[in-house]
Amino acid sequence: MTEIAAGKDLTDRAIEARAFEALDAFQIEIPSWGFANTGTRFGKFLQSAAASTIEEKFSDAAEVQRLTGSTPTMALHVLWDLPNGVDDVEKVRLLEKEHSIRSGSINPNLFQDQEYKFGSLCNPSAEIRGKAVEHVVDSIEIAAQLNARDISMWVPDGSNYPGTQSIRHRIGWIEEALQAAHSKLKSGQRLLVEYKPFEPAFYHTDIADWGMALHLAKVAGPQAKVLVDTGHHYSAQNIEQIVAWLIHTDMLGGFHFNDRRYADDDLTLGSIDPYQVFRIFHEIHAAKSDGLPLDVAFMIDQSHNLKGKIEAMVQTVMSAQELWLKSALVDREELGHLQGRCELVKAEELFRGKFWEDVRPLLAAWREERGLPVDPLQALRDGGYVEKITAERQGRQSGGGSYA
């Protein structure tokens, strides 16, 4: 072997080791509602293979984990998955054991009850606000019993017409509500405050952007952080800059990953703008390279209205793995030198060069080394699982909702 060939072999092995380390560390949580029939406010297109019970959701989650190796937890929605509250905890524990899937983030429901027509935590009625807080506290207890760390707070409150609500009063009410919920957190638990500029409210939304979420998380208490949903932004907003600010202020708690073309479309991750996901992941890797002690939850929040549920979930995880690996392999030391010297074109070419690099052979090698299918999507198609559950579930009305 020539000296050049030997050097190349050492470099290739170093890159492979770095890639395998990054992939081993990457875990992304899948949502239970991603397996159920969901839709828009206009209705649903039902799929025969969609899950309609918590048992079916755990079974589907186990299949995704078997194929991808990166999804050991499933986010649960209290109303849809634990309709009886803490009384359903034992059933969930048995399902966790049966399928080797752990409960992930717990999601309260503050949007379906008819009493929440004018808001939940921000409702002008103190009685209704109290009911909403009680539901969040119950969700915290469910999380504690399932040994789940994060409680994801999407508060869809707002108003549709100017002058119909006091925006300032509602700020005070939600501050009080989140403080009350935070006081019930157990050690190690976190309250993740999500934001969204509009929908279902169209004049003002009570937590409309990351600044409001940051303020409310700080007011709530030290165990509260901000949750970034990649679909919850105005068009052309620089999401990675928001991520950088939240990292800098030690307030980034987690993500809900999906993609969008117009608004909160809940499309599969990377289907519209994979470069954006790459840029976000780069901020995470860069912070880790700088020695920052990050603890960020990666979660998927998508509505598979047209794509097959499990196929779309596997496709999403594969895309996430690919984009995570691309960003992990950026030469951040060299990039830092180029940035410091303001060598703009060289810096940008180094950065986006990794985005354009084909890392699928590295992913295939990692999967083979870890005993996973080299092509998870093809393995799903060849394995017969979807055909099996389609036959079993044919004709059922599947539950779930259009969760944001």
Provide the H-helix boundaries in 251-342. Answer: 274-289, 309-328, 332-340
Burial class (CB in 10 A: 0-12, 13-18, 19+), 307: middle
Asked, for residue 1, whether it belongs to a domain, the answer is no
The whole-number pLDDT of residue 176 equals 98
> Which residue, among 139, 58, 147, 47, has the nearest Cα to 96 in the 3D structure?
58
Query: Whole-model pTM?
Result: 0.94
Mean pLDDT by 10 residues, the chain (404 residues): 52 91 98 91 87 98 98 97 97 98 98 96 98 98 98 98 98 98 98 96 98 98 98 95 98 98 94 98 97 96 94 98 98 98 98 98 98 98 97 71 46
Strands 39-40 and 43-44, bridge-based pairing: antiparallel
Task: Return d(Cα 364, Cα 117) in angstroms, integer.
Answer: 49
The whole-number pLDDT of residue 398 equals 46
Asked, for residue 126, whether it belongs to a domain, the answer is yes
Q: Which long-range contacts (CB under 8 A, 24 or more apart) does 23-28 make?
A: 23/70, 23/321, 23/324, 23/325, 23/363, 23/366, 26/70, 26/298, 26/320, 26/321, 26/324, 27/70, 27/71, 27/72, 27/73, 27/298, 28/70, 28/71, 28/257, 28/298, 28/299, 28/300, 28/317, 28/320
Asked, for residue 6, whether it belongs to a domain, the answer is no
Task: Return d(Cα 33, Cα 54) in angstroms, integer.
Answer: 10
Asked, for residue 7, whether it belongs to a domain, the answer is no
Asked, for residue 238, whether it belongs to a domain, the answer is yes
Asked, for residue 18, whether it belongs to a domain, the answer is no
Q: What share of the chain is helix, strand, coil (3-state, %, to 5)?
A: 50, 10, 35
Q: Which two tokens mark 181? A: 């919920």
> Which residue, among 321, 348, 320, has the nearest Cα to 334 in the 3D structure?
348
CB environment 57-68: b (16+ within 10 A), e (fewer): bbbbbbbbbbbb
Q: What's 329's domain CATH number? A: 3.20.20.150
- Our count of domains for the chain comes to 1
> Which residue, among 332, 323, 321, has the nearest Cα to 365 in the 3D structure?
321
The whole-number pLDDT of residue 2 equals 60
Strands 297-300 and 252-257, bridge-based pairing: parallel
Q: Are 257 and 217 in contact (CB under 8 A)?
A: no
Task: Return d(Cα 176, Cα 180) in angstroms, integer.
Answer: 6
Give Cα 187 distance to the centre of its chain: 23
Asked, for residue 20, whether it belongs to a domain, the answer is no
Residue 29 is given by DSSP the state B
Q: Which two tokens mark 45? A: 């297109």
Asked, for residue 143, whether it belongs to a domain, the answer is yes
Q: Which two tokens mark 39? A: 């839709």
| Boundaries of domain holding 361 | 26-393
